[in-house]
Amino acid sequence: MTKLQLAKLRQRIRGLKTRRNTLEHTAMAHHPMVGASLIERRFRRTRSISYFLSIPTPENVAWHRYVRKNELDHFRRRAGAWREFVHAMAEWVLINKEIEQSMRRLGKGRCEKLEIRRGKDSRALKRSRGT
């Protein structure tokens, strides 16, 4: 790799690290959350919308809890904080993988190329060294 390519790769890594730090700050911030998604359902066309919390379980089955109108604002904020946390963590994982791959490319780009000789030439080289 040329020095210009290496410099661009370093710049990209710095940008990814900045984004990772932002996501880390979002994930580590203190926001009360509810580990659930807020879903809205309309059972009949003429009826109003009903809200439920969809709560995941370890068995990959979701429980649903009805949310009353007076609790709606509270759970909307808490579920929104949860959604923001989950998305930040998912992007954080992807960015970490991309940083790792970029750092490996940077390491390979900085390495000198080595030749490995095999076959008759390498045996003759060993004999001339006295090994």
The 3-class secondary structure across 64-85, one letter per residue, is EEEECHHHHHHHHHHHHHHHHH
Which residue range forms the structural domain that includes residue 87? Answer: 3-129
pLDDT band, residue 99 (cuts 50/70/90): very high
Average pLDDT of the residues of the chain: 88
pLDDT band, residue 113 (cuts 50/70/90): confident
pLDDT at 38: 93
Of 44, 46, 55, the residue nearest 82 (C-alpha)? 55
Distance CA 87, CA 94 (A): 11
Encoded tokens for 92: 């954080």
Listed in sequence order, the DSSP H helices in 1-129 are: 3-28, 69-110, 120-129
pLDDT at 3: 87
> Looking at the whole model, is its pTM more than 0.75?
no
If one counts every other C-beta atom within 10 angstroms of the C-beta of residue 79, the result is 21
Number of domains in the chain: 1
Which tens digits make up the pLDDT trace of 46-94? 778 899 999 988 898 889 999 999 999 999 999 999 999 999 999 999 9
Q: Which residue has the tokens 């095999």?
A: 118
